[in-house]
């Protein structure tokens, strides 16, 4: 591991560990995270951020998942990155992203010297807590970043299973040029949806590492029939399976992270999100079984992870969504195209890894 990377992760890890005792205080978490400048980690140095490879910045998101960080760091990383790419100011406020369902994109039209945007942004994360919401729309084959003011939107607040704010936004707005900014060709609405899925892969991988740790530790402490349950072979075998699921989720998330700059990122992220989602379900079933009734309580910390994992596996495309996307690509290439498809994706293109 590179020095600057490990320094950053150490610092962030210490902070996230400190915040563990206040898992519901998103404001506090946000303030502390912002003090360290972490939300700028995916922004280039020239634009006021760090000089970090994307993989290192995204490692923060896995760490956030691992510690169940209350603040939406991943969303802020992406939002700031996009603001920088569009040449907009990155102020100190809280930014977040909102993403249209890829099957139901936003409509962006030019009306005289204004823009008109209509459509829906379902389950926008932390929308009411943000100072600016960014999303991507296309107009005349040009990607554009929309800077939305949360106060001006028709919003139906809600939460995911883990009580994280998820707001349905309905857009029917006029925006001026300052708020509709050109983006490079690669940064499409699909890019944002995929990147959201990538964030969830990282968070799932991080959370599963903790779930494994907690469960192994609990099994070592819980005594029944005169010995720790961890001494029972049936429990050991289940914990081994839990470890395989945590490991494969981490590997799949790594694959997604490496694809951040890759033009073929859609297929790689599809595979990763589908696999991470499945791993989350399988791993949690074991974690809860091993914990017994205590794991079903609100008081015990496992639920902080299980409810997040059950939510994250669905967000930005659940298993079914991404399996269909990947499956249609494989089927289109035909039987003899399967293996070349897998090997091509497994090797990075020129410049895909920073």
Partner 1 sequence: MIDLSFPTPPESQQAESFREQVRDFLATELAGRAPLQRVESWMGFDAGFSRRLGEQGWIGLTWPKQYGGSERSALERYVLLEELLAAGAPVAAHWIADRQSGPLLLRYGTEAQKQAILPRITRGECFFCIGMSEPDSGSDLAAARTYAEPVDDGFIVNGTKLWTTYGHEAHYMVLFCRTSRDNEDRHGGTSQLLIDLTLPGITIRPIHDLSGAHHFNEVVFENVRVPRDALIGEMGDGWNQVLSELAFERSGPDRFLSTLWVLIELIRALQGRDDDQSRIAVGRLTAHLMSLRRLSRSVAGMLQRGENPTLQAAIVKDLGALLEQEIPDIARQLVDTGHADAAHRDFFQVLHYAVQQVPAFSLRGGTREILRGIIARGLGLR
184 versus 339: smaller Cβ distance to partner 1: 339
3-state secondary structure of 96: strand
260 versus 322: smaller Cβ distance to partner 1: 322
155 versus 243: smaller Cβ distance to partner 1: 243
175 versus 219: smaller Cβ distance to partner 1: 219
Q: C-beta of 187: minimal distance to partner 1 in Å? A: 25
26 versus 211: smaller Cβ distance to partner 1: 211
Residue position matching structure tokens 């992406």: 78
Strands (E) located in 126-206: 132-139, 142-148, 154-156, 166-175, 180-182
Q: C-beta of 22: minimal distance to partner 1 in Å? A: 21
Contact positions toward partner 1, by CB under 8 A?
A: 209, 212-213, 216, 219-220, 230-231, 233, 236-237, 239-241, 243-244, 246-248, 250-252, 254-255, 258, 268, 270-272, 274-275, 278, 319-320, 322-328, 330-331, 334-336, 338-339, 341-343, 345-348
Structure tokens at 272: 């990763």
Q: C-beta of 279: minimal distance to partner 1 in Å? A: 9
Q: C-beta of 342: minimal distance to partner 1 in Å? A: 6
CB neighbour list of residue 264: distance below 8 Å, 6 or more residues apart? 344, 345, 349
19 versus 219: smaller Cβ distance to partner 1: 219
Q: C-beta of 162: minimal distance to partner 1 in Å? A: 22
Q: C-beta of 325: minimal distance to partner 1 in Å? A: 7
**DSSP secondary structure string for all residues of 315-343:** TTS-HHHHHHHHHHHHHHH-GGGHHHHHH
33 versus 209: smaller Cβ distance to partner 1: 209
Q: C-beta of 132: minimal distance to partner 1 in Å? A: 34
CB neighbour list of residue 144: distance below 8 Å, 6 or more residues apart? 108, 136, 137, 138, 180, 181, 182, 183
113 versus 347: smaller Cβ distance to partner 1: 347
Long-range contact list for 287-292, CB < 8 A, 24+ apart?
287/211, 287/212, 287/214, 287/215, 287/242, 289/238, 290/215, 290/218, 290/219, 290/229, 290/235, 290/238, 290/239, 290/242, 291/215, 291/218, 292/222
Q: Alpha-carbon distance 24 to 21, whole Å?
A: 9
223 versus 342: smaller Cβ distance to partner 1: 342
Q: C-beta of 327: minimal distance to partner 1 in Å? A: 3
How far is the CA of 272 from the CAs of 41, 228, 317, in angstroms?
23, 36, 11
Q: C-beta of 78: minimal distance to partner 1 in Å? A: 22
Classify the C-alpha dihedral 222-227-231-232 as positive or negative: negative
């Amino acid at each position: 591991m590179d020095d600057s990377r490990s320094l950053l992760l150490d610092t962030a890890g210490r902070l996230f560990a400190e915040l563990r005792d206040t898992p519901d205080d998103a404001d506090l978490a946000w303030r502390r995270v912002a003090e360290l400048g972490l939300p700028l980690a995916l922004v280039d140095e020239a634009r006021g951020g760090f000089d970090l490879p994307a993989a290192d910045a995204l490692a923060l998101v896995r760490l956030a998942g691992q510690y169940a960080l209350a603040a939406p760091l991943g969303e802020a990383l992406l939002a700031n990155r996009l603001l920088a790419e569009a040449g907009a100011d990155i102020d100190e406020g809280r930014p977040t992203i909102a993403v249209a369902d890829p099957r139901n994109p936003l409509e962006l039209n030019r009306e005289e010297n204004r823009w008109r945007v209509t459509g829906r942004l379902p389950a926008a994360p932390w929308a009411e807590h943000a100072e600016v919401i960014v999303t991507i729309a296309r107009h005349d084959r040009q990607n554009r970043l929309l800077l939305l003011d949360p106060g001006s939107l028709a919003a139906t607040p809600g939460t995911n299973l883990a009580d994280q704010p998820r707001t349905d936004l309905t857009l029917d707005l006029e925006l001026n040029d300052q708020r509709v900014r050109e983006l490079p060709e690669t940064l499409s609405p699909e890019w944002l949806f995929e990147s959201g899925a990538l964030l969830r892969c990282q968070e799932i991988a991080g959370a599963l590492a903790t779930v494994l740790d907690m469960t192994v530790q609990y099994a070592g402490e819980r005594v029944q029939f005169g010995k720790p349950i961890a001494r029972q072979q049936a429990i050991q075998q289940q914990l081994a399976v839990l470890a395989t699921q945590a490991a494969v989720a981490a590997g799949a998330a790594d694959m997604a992270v490496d694809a951040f700059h890759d033009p073929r990122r859609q297929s790689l992220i599809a595979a990763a999100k589908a696999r991470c989602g499945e791993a989350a379900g399988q791993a949690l079933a074991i974690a809860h079984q091993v914990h017994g009734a205590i794991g079903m309580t609100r008081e015990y910390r496992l639920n902080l992870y299980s409810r997040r994992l059950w939510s994250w596996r669905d967000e930005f495309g659940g298993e079914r969504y991404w399996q269909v996307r990947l499956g249609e690509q494989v089927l289109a290439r035909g039987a003899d195209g399967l293996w070349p498809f897998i090997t091509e994706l497994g090797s990075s293109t020129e410049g895909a890894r920073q």
